[in-house]
Homo-oligomer: A and B are copies of this chain.
């Protein structure tokens, strides 16, 4: 696995294919063609074939892919044959939405706890997930071997939250705060920037 060099755009599509394959599995479908996958995800058959070619010869000509095997293989590539321990920092609207979000559990992400600095929220639960004080964040991450932290706090608190996660030896961070974050290079880090997503749309609208 160490030598795999798959572009991020492909990883994104693999993730989408995998969820479509889940859907097929749940419907009892045994085999699927690249054309059917393409149709299911609004992609092109050529792109699907190219993406799946990263894994060598998988399908059978004229028959297609075995849904379960292909999905198993993609999930393994994506690291989803593990379960991952996740904490969410921030119990505001966004943190609550993320905690309630069913898609995470389905894909093997365990949301263990939510952290917040509001003492009125500490001790409550969001859909069964406990809210702890943010002062306990580092200790909890170490003790529970949390690998992924999701940062959903206001921008002005984001850096200190990230620092606490880094200090606790977190492996990866998904950040929703619209702020440039300083982070050591060994930690996998990703921003979900809501404004940028809207600005790509406005760019496309004015430049076509």
Seen from chain A, the residues whose Cβ lies within 8 Å of a Cβ on chain B are: 1-2, 4, 6, 8, 11-12, 15-16, 19-20, 40-42, 77-80, 82, 84, 86, 92-94, 96-98, 100-101, 103-104, 107, 109, 147-148, 171-172, 174, 178, 180-182, 188, 190, 192-208
The residue on B at minimum CB distance from A1 is: B207
Assess A194 versus B98: contact at CB under 8 Å? Given A103-B178, A199-B11, A201-B172: yes
Most buried by B among A78, A104, A172, A199: A199
Nearest chain B CB to A194 CB, angstrom units: 6
Copies in the assembly, this chain:
2
A164 to B33, CA, bound (A): 32
A100 / chain B contacts, CB cutoff of 8 Å: 93
Assess A195 versus B1: contact at CB under 8 Å? Given A93-B100, A100-B93, A190-B200: no
Q: Contact check, B171 vs A2: say whether CB atoms are below 8 A apart.
A: no
A101 / chain B contacts, CB cutoff of 8 Å: 94, 194
Assess A147 versus B205: contact at CB under 8 Å? Given A15-B196, A97-B92, A200-B15: yes
Please pick, from B15, B148, B188, B193, the residue contacting A15 in the complex, using a CB distance under 8 A. Answer: B193
Please pick, from B98, B181, B200, the residue contacting A12 in the complex, using a CB distance under 8 A. Answer: B200
